[in-house]
Every structure is written in C-alpha cells, then in structure tokens.
Structure 1
Amino acid sequence: MKIKKGFILRKVKERYIVIPKGENQSIFKGAIILNHTSMLLWNGLSVNSTIDDLENIILEQYPSVPRAKIRKDIIILLDKLRNNGLIDE
C-alpha cells in the first residue's frame, strides 16, 4: 500500500500538514495535520509498504515501545487514511 499521488506533505513550524493538489482538491477538501510519528509513517507510505515495513520505521525511532502497540496505532492511522481516500492498496 502507498499514498495516492496528488497529496503533498508540508512542514509548517512544528506541524506536518498534508494537502491535496491538482484534481484531488475537488475530491478532498481540507488538510490533515500529522504529528511526528504519523509523518514518519506518511513518508514510509511514499513507496509501496507493508505494515511490517511501517512497524520497523517506528521501532527505529522508538525502540522501547512494544511492537503490538505500534501495530495497533499504525492500523488506526491507516484506517483514517483509507476512509479519506488517501491510500492505494
């Protein structure tokens, strides 16, 4: 799975904001604000990735967090991205 084309990530001060561009502006109205961890996952999804790939990205940054918690949080984020039409499976 990966992020659909037509969405860009911008850093504004201490926040990361995803906005649509081109045709996606008429489909997705608004923006998504990401925290640092979500931004890492977003970047991981810029290429075709599995949940295991995404877990490893987070484990590199947060090695003390249990893998099960990381997986649960990744699934929550992926569901939100899917529900908003931002992921290609």
Structure 2
Amino acid sequence: MKIDRNFVLREIAGECIIIPTGKTALEFNGLITVNEIGMELWKMLQNEVTFDDLLKGIMEEYDVDKEVAKEDIQDFLDKLIDGGILTEDDSTESR
C-alpha cells in the first residue's frame, strides 16, 4: 500500500486535509479531513507498507486496544482506497 503522489496532506484553518493536486484535482470531488492518527498513518503510507506495519506503528505510538486500532486503520484505508488515494498491492497486504 502506498499513497498516490497526486494527493497531499495540508493544514488549512487548523484542520489537516487530504487534497488532490494537478490533473487529479479535476477528477476528485471533495476533501478528506484527518485526525492525529490519520496524520500518522498518512506519514507511514508515504512508503510501501503493509497493514501489519501500520498496526505496529500505531500500537507503538498510541495507547489503544489492538482490535480498535485494526478497525480504525481499516476504516481509514477503505476511505483512501474508495477515493483512489491509496494504491493497494495484494501481495503486500496482510490483515
């Protein structure tokens, strides 16, 4: 999994928002606002990572139940995939 380089995370009016750039801005309708954990996941997704890599990173950084973290990470990834923001390679995914 890795973020499409046509999307960037920016702070606008105190909110962190994923926005499209270039030609992608013409095709993508809407913006996605992210919280602190979403920002951390975004940073990790700048490189090729697996679901387990993301889970490990969040578990090390935050005091959160593993099952809750799994669900929250998957929800975030699903939003990114649905928006075409995240590219997913089945060979690197492990849930």
Q: Which residue does 1:61 correspond to in 2?
A: 61
Deviation at 1:10, TM superposition (A): 0.8
Residue pairs, 1:5-84, within 5 angstroms:
5-62=5-62, 64-84=63-83
- For structure 2, which runs of at least 5 residues remain unmatched after alignment? 89-95
Amino acid at match of 2:36: H
The worse-fitting range, judged by mean Cα deviation, of 11-20 and 32-41 is 11-20
Question: RMSD value over aligned CA atoms?
Answer: 1.2
SS at match of 1:46: coil
Deviation at 1:74, TM superposition (A): 0.6
Number of equivalent positions: 88
Deviation at 1:23, TM superposition (A): 1.2
Amino acid at match of 1:67: K
Amino acid at match of 1:82: I
Query: Structure 1 stretches (4+) deviating beyond 6 angstroms?
Result: none
Amino acid at match of 2:74: I
Amino acid at match of 1:16: C
Q: Which residue does 1:86 correspond to in 2?
A: 85
SS at match of 2:17: strand
- For structure 1, which runs of at least 5 residues remain unmatched after alignment? none
Any idea what the Cα deviations from partners look like across 1:36-87, whole Å, max 9, x if unmatched?
111111111111111111112211221x312121111111111111111111
